[in-house]
Amino acid sequence: MSLKKKFLATVTAAALSISLTFGTPATVEAASAIDLIGTGIAIGVQASQLNAQLNQKIKYYDTTEEGRQELYDSFRQKYGVNNDPNYNAQLDRVMANLTKGVAAIDPTINSKPYLYFVSNQNTINAACSMGHVMMVNAGTFKKITNEDEIAAIVGHEMGHGQRNHVAKGNKKHLQKAVTAQIAGTAIGASVGGGALTSIITQVALNHSVAHGDRKHETEADLLGFEYMTHTNYNPGACAAVMQRFVDMEIGSKQSGAMAFFNPSDHPDSAKRRDAYVKKLYEYSRNHVTAKNAVITVNNKTFIKVAASSDMSAAERSYFVLGNLASAYHSGQNTYAATVQNGTVMLGNQPIIAPLEGDEDAQTIADRLNAIK
Ligand SMILES: [Zn+2]
């Protein structure tokens, strides 16, 4: 690879970092950049010149309505738009609910509402780019039928969006690439401003690659949890969806063919699940936790949750945990546990509707009263 090609490929890889929750095909689409070599652009640009232009471009996509729309349109073109009415209705609902949840914590969302769509991709994935441009793959809706879990995924993406991780990541990665390249290339002609802008525009519009850093991922996970607690969604869904990935061997080390879902920029699903369980414990004011489908209340074993037709026992247990955490958070634990229409309640908070394999509702309610 010539220095020119190497340089352009590096710029391409760095120029548009969209952060994907659950991985992306990390193909480096160097083709568009290499095509530009054919136009005779010579590389010898000063780092400061490139940085200034890149920053300008990022600002355009991130903060202007025109730029946001351009980015949105290019994503729709690149990934395809899925028009399934159920998927779209579900995403509309999730976005409306979460937008309120975000606004309760971070009102800046009101001046930059998300531009979102269901992309025509079959993998479980979602992405948030600059300018609050967001997409959720059709495959996500196909394989995750629980809306609370979809909200957990989208909440994570909105965490990236609200903290501007993509724009920040771009600058950092590109500046690094440019500095290294300039240092290693003493010779070279100069690139005109217009040509440089067209390179940056081209790669920004055509290329996406996941390379968020760990700090950003952890921050997005924590923010997503906060947003969820300001909606009516079950905050246990964040841990539950991670358990679902563990059960599907997504984001686990040994996943082999599924390694696609395990990019290095996302900590593995079991670790993320455990971090969410810790958040639920804190949210419950240190009263409830769960491990391997067993729920513990005040350090005493409460119940072992059974699997449902669609969820492993562990995945389902995190919904029960989320309900309990909500009850403790809002003070419903000061009221008695009762059974109403087959559902165990703590105060006015539903806790669990027993299924085959669970103990009966009254037994569960009695035990909760004894240990709560
Ligand atoms: Zn992420």
How many other C-beta atoms can be found within 10 angstroms of the C-beta atom of residue 171?
A: 16
Which of the two residues, 169 and 36, has the higher pLDDT score?
Answer: 169
Q: For residue 169, how far is its CA from the centre of ligand 1 (angstroms)? A: 12
Separation of CA 43 and ligand 1 centre (Å): 33
Give the total residue count for the chain.
Answer: 372
In angstroms, what is the span from residue 369 Cα to ligand 1's centroid?
40
- Return the minimum-mean-pLDDT range out of 11-20, 170-179, 237-246: 11-20
Ligand 1 centroid vs 219 CA: distance in angstroms?
9
112 vs 107: CA distance, rounded Å: 10
Tell me, what's the pLDDT at 194? 56
Inter-residue contact 53 to 196 (CB < 8 Å): yes
Give residue 109 CA to ligand 1 midpoint distance, Å.
Answer: 19
- Separation of CA 212 and ligand 1 centre (Å): 7
Report whether pLDDT(40) > 80.
no
- Spatial separation of the C-alpha atoms in residues 2 and 187, rounded to whole Å: 13
Q: Is the pLDDT of residue 31 over 70?
A: no
Chain mean pLDDT for the chain = 79
Ligand 1 center–CA 7 separation, angstroms? 27
Calculate how far, in angstroms, residue 19's C-alpha sits from the geometric centre of ligand 1.
Answer: 5
Say how many Å lie between the CA of residue 240 and the centre of ligand 1.
Answer: 17
Query: Each residue of 205-230: pLDDT tens digit?
Result: 544 434 456 788 889 999 999 999 99
CA of 346 to the centre of ligand 1 (A): 34
DSSP H stretches of helix in the chain: 3-15, 31-37, 47-63, 65-79, 85-105, 138-143, 147-162, 165-184, 193-206, 214-228, 237-247, 269-283, 313-329, 361-371
Query: How many angstroms is it from 135 CA to the middle of ligand 1?
Result: 13
Report the distance separating Cα 273 and Cα 245, nearest Å.
10
Say how many Å lie between the CA of residue 131 and the centre of ligand 1: 16
Q: Which residue has tokens 């290294």? A: 180
Distance of CA 2 from the midpoint of ligand 1 (Å): 33
Q: How far is ligand 1, taken at its centre, from the CA of residue 193, in Å?
A: 33
61-103: pLDDT as tens digits: 889 999 999 989 988 998 999 999 999 999 999 999 999 999 9
Confidence at residue 128, expressed as pLDDT on a 0 to 100 scale: 86
Please measure the distance between the N-terminal and C-terminal CA atoms of the chain and give it in whole angstroms.
66
What is the phi-psi region of residue 190: left when phi exceeds 0, alpha when psi lies from -120 to 50, beta otherwise? beta
Q: How far away, in angstroms, is 21 Cα from ligand 1 center?
A: 4
CA–CA gap between residue 137 and residue 159 (Å, rounded): 18
Cα 217 to averaged position of ligand 1 atoms, centre (Å): 5
pLDDT for 59 equals 86
Report angle CA 88, 90, 92 to the nearest 5 degrees: 70
Is the model's pTM score more than 0.75? yes
Distance in Å, CA 218 to ligand 1 centroid = 8
- What is the CA(160)–ligand 1 centre distance, in A? 7
Compute, in angstroms, the gap from residue 158 CA to the centroid of ligand 1. 9
